[in-house]
């Protein structure tokens, strides 16, 4: 049985996923807000521990916002 030939769509999809993974890796290692959040939480004294959940909430909201913005931008570029 011969394997099916790759279509141009298969190749484009693989390249798109490669680019998306590279961008995700760069954002997480160089510009991730989680690093800032971790450093802020580590610097907070036990007396100010109530700030930690708020910082994590802000981290989550910003992360979701970045994800939605990237999805919107990618949809705008490709469709």
- Which pLDDT score is estimated for 12? 92
For residues 52 and 44, the answer to whether their CB atoms sit within 8 Å is yes
- Which pLDDT score is estimated for 32? 62
The tens-digit pLDDT sequence of the chain (79 residues) is 788 888 999 999 999 999 999 988 887 777 666 666 677 777 777 677 777 788 788 888 888 998 899 999 988 888 7
State how far the alpha carbon of 18 is from the alpha carbons of 31, 36, 37, 43, 66, in Å. Answer: 19, 27, 28, 36, 19
State how far the alpha carbon of 76 is from the alpha carbons of 42, 61, 65, 69, in Å. Answer: 39, 22, 16, 10
Element (H, E) at 18: helix 8-30
């Amino acid at each position: 049985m011969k394997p099916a030939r790759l279509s141009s769509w298969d190749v484009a999809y693989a390249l798109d996923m490669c680019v998306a993974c590279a961008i995700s890796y760069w954002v997480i290692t160089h510009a991730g807000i989680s690093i800032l959040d971790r450093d802020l939480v580590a610097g907070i004294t036990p007396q100010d521990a109530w700030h930690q959940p708020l910082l994590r909430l802000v981290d989550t909201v910003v992360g979701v916002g970045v994800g939605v913005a990237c999805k919107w931008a990618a949809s705008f570029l490709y469709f």
